[in-house]
Amino acid sequence: MTLKGQGSGPLPPLLQQYVELRDAYPEYLLLFQVGDFYETFGEDAERLARAVGIALTRKTSKDFTTPMAGIPIRSVDGYLERLLKLGFRIAVADQMELAEDAEGLVRREVTQLLTPGTLTQETLLRPEANYLAALATGDGYGLALLDVSTGEFRGAVFYGKSSVWDELFRYRPAEVLLAPELYHNPGFLEEFQRRFPVMLSPGRFEEEAAAQALQAQFGALPGELEHPALLRAAGAVLGYAQATQGGALPQVQGFVRYDPSAFMQMSEATLRTLEVYDPSPVGESSEERTLMGVLGLTRTAPGRRLLRAWLRHPLVEEGPIQARLDAVEALVRDGVLREAVRKILYRIHDLERLAGRLAAGRANARDLLALARSLELLPELAGSLRGSSALLSLAERLPNLAEVAERIHTALVEEVPLKITEGGLIRDGFDAELDALRQRAEAARAWIAGLEAAERERSGIPLKVGYNQVFGYYLEVTRPYYAQVPSDWRAIATLKDRQRYTRPDLREKEREILLAESEARKREYAAFLELRESVGQAAPLVREAAGVLAELDVYAALAEAAAQYGYVRPRFSAEGRLYIRAGRHPVVERGGEFIPNDLELSPSERLLILTGPNMAGKSTYLRQTALIALLAQIGSFVPAEEALLPLFDRIYTRIGASDDIAGGRSTFMVEMEELAQILQGATSRSLVLLDEIGRGTSTYDGLSLAWAAAEHLHDRVRCYTLFATHYFELTALPERLSGARNHHVAAREEAGGLVFYHQVLPGPASRSYGLEVAKLAGVPREVLSRAATLLAGLEAQVGNVGQEVLDELLSLDPTRLTPLEALLLLQRWRDKVQKTVVPNELA
């Protein structure tokens, strides 16, 4: 109960109140309403001023001076957003009464607790889902995720740390609660913070507290939570959210436990390298360069969130994939229907979040109108879907909420104000009592309006009736007529050449108006709350509608992409064959002319060694293959002329260098960690894409690792592998491994320099063209010609010397050598090789 400042006396009452509230929320930055500002004092004022760059002033009273910094309430949203981004949790204390009504100090209460993972304010939320996650251990890892803005609550159990990382990466929670056993494990915490720069918050993970939070929410413990780690995580998430939302979370209707193995597994590295959501490197360019940027043709926010969710969780069962493809195909074929559907969707508001606000009793009048305007479009939408057998079930699942829309429209006027306490919401004729109050005010106003004419005639004074905030209604008389003013008029203001009067009957009417208006406001507010309450009953149905619409929106978006960009419906091969004819990279092709390529793999041809110069298009080919498989398994058409695919259980990629400078791991270390994960995790049903494995170490180390990894994937794992490499030596693999083939990306040296054809052809590349690419990149001519000389020398010498040493070694009989002789021989060979590999001038 201390406050930084100077002075000897007790704290003035206002600051005392501040300190009490602040101390009740020690984890939060308290914003304390004083009139039109949210103020902070003492150290918090210094923190706030520093964080958002506002002026630090001081609050001085008789005995105490303390630093003070404040934010104007009218621009608070921008500041809140910044503070949350900077990692603050914020408690907002509002004045609960008007200063003039207060006896003594104005009453203040904390009305909102804001943390990144529990936001519900539309102004602060991004359109994406906003998850609060919790992670606990106990027979595996339990991960629970809650989106407070929509009420979505789900979780799963994982049995390996890396699958937890991958899942967290997919969901990208805004805030995470870690169970104490993880939080206090320095190794885990360090790795967590390196991977996820999100806010970490404390949660109640004890089994009892967790069970209590769940019981408070659902009445009984959901059966899906019969798992120690999951129970603790789910309870912690819920308890934390309940605390920030001031108790119950009516929008959270239930918990869904999902089975991670029902979805295709993709590692964090895969999502990154395939640029599903973010361009790589992050922040380098816009979202347009990502898969989401190309496919994101959804028309509603829930649709967009669902598409993102599908992309992070492709399916592995053919049935549900085909059902999605059927719906997409119906909309691809019928362009008129697609256009009509998308037009209607465009006019539908974010029903998922509206349902959340509705259930939580936080919807305002504009929300209700938005809801009504959206709901009344549903019958038309359902009608247009009924013509297609693939879309019929969507139409049938779409609840009919026309009556709710009607109820809202009957009650609310067309243009409602933002505030729900100030009147102007309810239509005439909706509520008899309200109508009577309005009529009373109207009659009094009419009386006042008639007063001017009547009094002019009666008294002969050319008076005017006016109104202002301070005096209310008055009669205004100019100087020449002062003497004629009747005696029962009372002067209330004197201006230069005129005077303003009131009189008892005018006062009376004025009071009548004010009273009727204030009663009407209260009545309107009550009527609104009643309406909101009754509409709130429909929140679960609204959410159901939102779910169906989101699905429809995704189908329509995928169909639009398919139609616009010329995608085909993929087929799936029970025998595990893969044949892509004229496949393309969905994102790269948007940038300009693109050369399509084929790919054929089968259990007997499962490892493809891909060579070719830098810049030829090897990585693009690898990525497009993965993207086609990914798209097919979310139920999308794919960028190809024909695609027959196996159903992959996982896609692994190890493409390009990703330095982890902040985490202090070298490129090579990152590469090897990813390789280890692939070699351990891949199954015969996986797709593995490797690009230049072993590049970060010495040539022979790298080559040996690459070779051994290829063998392992071919012999043991037997998955489909595309292996792009600059190690020419690897083109010898197909001679030894029956399921391996060589392909290369074509390029040819022509008069003007190297020409890339971006065409994938059978057989190995003839050479590596490194110097030609260097030339294209602008390396100076002297350097290039010197490099060419060295290269020629190296190739010749390494060949000769290597052979000499080998011949000598083979002719030896080691059993007849003394240790000393052997050492001397080793020394001699080493000198020989070193002299060759490092040209004389450099040695």
613 assigned binding-site residue: yes
Tell me how far CA of residue 512 lies from CA of 443, 520, 667, in angstroms: 10, 12, 79
174 near ligand ATP, judged by CB under 6 A: no
Min dist CB 654 to ligand ATP, Å, is 13
Side-chain-side CA neighbours of 437 within 13 Å: the count stands at 18
Q: Name which position in 443, 492, 493, 595 contacts ligand ATP (CB under 6 A).
A: 595
Query: Which tokens in the block code for residue 570?
Result: 């993929």
Which residues are CB-contacts of 274 (< 8 A; sequence separation ≥ 6)? 266, 291, 623, 626, 627, 630, 653
Instruction: Out of 227, 232, 741, 758, name the contact with ligand ATP by CB under 6 A.
Output: 758
Give residue for tokens 């919790």.
134
13 is in an annotated binding site: no
What's the min distance (Å) between Cβ of 700 and ligand ATP? 20
Q: Which is nearer to ligand ATP, 369 or 616 (CB)?
A: 616
Q: How far is the CB of 149 from ligand ATP (least distance, A)?
A: 39
Nearest distance, CB of residue 787 and ligand ATP, angstroms: 17
Q: Which is nearer to ligand ATP, 682 or 760 (CB)?
A: 760
Supply angle C-alpha 247, 248, 250, rounded to 5: 150
- Contacts with ligand ATP: how many residues (CB under 6 A)? 12
Residues 620-659, mask of contacts with ligand ATP (x by CB under 6 A): x---------------------------------------
Span from 243-251, 313-321, 608-616, 677-685 in contact with ligand ATP (CB under 6 A): 608-616
Would you tell me how many other CB atoms lie within 10 Å of the CB of residue 254?
11
Query: What DSSP string describes 113-150?
Result: EE-GGG---TTT--SS---EEEEEESSSEEEEEEETTT
Task: Write down the least CB distance from residue 622 to ligand ATP, Å.
Answer: 8
Question: Does 619 appear as a known binding residue?
Answer: yes
Tell me if 68 is assigned to a ligand binding site.
no
Q: Is 573 annotated as a binding residue?
A: no
Ligand-binding annotation for 393, yes or no, is: no
Report the nearest approach of ligand ATP to the CB of residue 841 (Å). 29
Query: What CA–CA distances, in Å, run from 179 to 161, 374, 570, 737, 771?
Result: 15, 42, 43, 48, 54
Q: Which of 48, 225, 554, 616 touches ligand ATP (CB under 6 A)?
A: 616
Name the closest residue to ligand ATP (Cβ).
617
Q: Minimum distance between the CB of residue 293 and ligand ATP, rounded to whole angstroms?
A: 16
The string of DSSP letters for 65-117 reads EEEEEEEEGGGHHHHHHHHHHTT--EEEEEE-S-GGG-SSSPPEEEEEEE-GG
Pairing of strands 90-95, 498-502: unpaired
Residue closer to ligand ATP by CB (options 149, 619) is 619
Q: Is 281 annotated as a binding residue?
A: no
- Minimum CB separation of residue 768 from ligand ATP in Å reads 10
**327 interacts with ligand ATP by CB under 6 A:** no
The piece of 574-582, 613-621, 674-682, 792-800 that touches ligand ATP (CB under 6 A) is 613-621
Residue 721 in contact with ligand ATP, rule: CB under 6 A: no
Distances in Å between the alpha carbon of 790 and those of 644, 769, 787, 795, 797?
A: 48, 15, 5, 9, 10
Q: Is 617 annotated as a binding residue?
A: yes
Closest to ligand ATP by CB, 342 vs 618, is 618
Tokens of 15: 């600051």
Residue (579 or 594) nearer to ligand ATP, CB: 594
Q: Which stretch binds ligand ATP (CB under 6 A): 142-150, 607-615, 668-676, 779-787?
A: 607-615
Closer CB to ligand ATP, 140 or 612, in the complex:
612
**Least Å from the CB of residue 651 to ligand ATP:** 17
Q: DSSP assignment, residue 8?
A: S
Stretch of residues binding ligand ATP (CB under 6 A), selected from 129-137, 244-252, 340-348, 609-617: 609-617
Coil vs helix vs strand at 461: coil
User: What is the chain's length?
Assistant: 843
Nearer residue to ligand ATP within complex by CB, 103 or 593: 593
Identify which range of 297-305, 418-426, 452-460, 615-623 contacts ligand ATP by CB under 6 A.
615-623
Placement of tokens 């012999």 in the chain: 715
- Side chain identity at residue 434, one-letter code: L
> Nearer Cβ to ligand ATP, position 532 or 758?
758
Chain positions 69 to 108 lying near ligand ATP, rule: CB under 6 A, are none
**Phi, psi for residue 156 in degrees, rounded to 5:** -155, 165
Report how far residue 797's alpha carbon sits from residue 818's, in angstroms, rounded to the nearest whole number.
30
Instruction: Give the residue with the Cβ less far from ligand ATP, 619 or 721.
Output: 619
Query: Least separation, in Å, of the C-beta of 754 and ligand ATP?
Result: 12
- Give CA–CA dist 477/461, Å, rounded: 7
∠64-67-73 over CA atoms, to 5°?
115
Question: Which of 588, 608, 710, 717 touches ligand ATP (CB under 6 A)?
Answer: 588
Q: Is 312 in the site for ligand ATP (CB under 6 A)?
A: no
Binding of ligand ATP at residue 618 (CB under 6 A)?
Answer: yes
Q: Which of 245, 611, 614, 686 binds ligand ATP (CB under 6 A)?
A: 614
| Residues with Cβ within 8 Å of residue 576, at least 6 apart in sequence | 602, 603, 646, 685
Tell me if 309 sits within 8 A of 297, measured CB to CB: no
When the beta carbons of 106 and 688 are compared against ligand ATP, the nearer one is 688
- We find the least distance from the C-beta atom of residue 623 to ligand ATP, in angstroms, to be 8
Residues with Cβ within 8 Å of residue 486, at least 6 apart in sequence: 459, 503
11-40 in b/e form (b: 16+ CB < 10 A) is bbebbebbbebbeeeeebbbbbbbeebbbb
Task: For residue 147, list its beta bridge partners.
Answer: 152
Question: Contact, 706 vs 679, CB < 8 A?
Answer: no
Question: Shortest gap between Cβ of 718 and ligand ATP (angstroms)?
Answer: 26
DSSP letter at 11 equals P
Long-range interactions of 457-465: CB distance < 8 A, separation 24+: 459/484, 459/486, 460/484, 461/485
Q: How far is the CB of 620 from ligand ATP (least distance, A)?
A: 3
Q: Which two tokens stand for residue 52?
A: 């958002």
- Residue from 499, 611, 619, 836 in contact with ligand ATP (CB under 6 A): 619
Tell me which of 12, 239, 296, 617 binds ligand ATP, using CB under 6 A: 617
* Choice between 296 and 617, CB closer to ligand ATP: 617
Tokens standing for residue 92: 């907002």
Site membership for ligand ATP, residue 552 (CB under 6 A): no
Dihedral-angle region of residue 758 (phi above 0 means left; psi in -120 to 50 means alpha; beta otherwise): left
- Closer CB to ligand ATP, 235 or 617, in the complex: 617
Name which of 665, 667, 691, 666 is nearest 678 in CA terms: 691
Would you count residue 730 as binding ligand ATP (CB under 6 A)?
Answer: no
CB of 268 to ligand ATP, least distance (A): 21
Q: Which stretch binds ligand ATP (CB under 6 A): 88-96, 547-555, 558-566, 587-595?
A: 587-595
Nearer to ligand ATP, 175 or 692 (CB): 692
**Binding of residue 594 to ligand ATP (CB under 6 A):** yes
Q: How far apart are CA 577 and CA 620, in angstroms?
A: 22
In angstroms, what is the minimal distance from the CB of 290 to ligand ATP? Answer: 15
| CA–CA separation, 762 and 742 (whole Å) | 6
**Which residues of the shown chain bind ligand ATP in the complex (CB under 6 A)?**
588, 594-595, 612, 614-620, 758
Binding-site members for ATP are 612-619
Residues annotated in the binding site, as ranges?
612-619
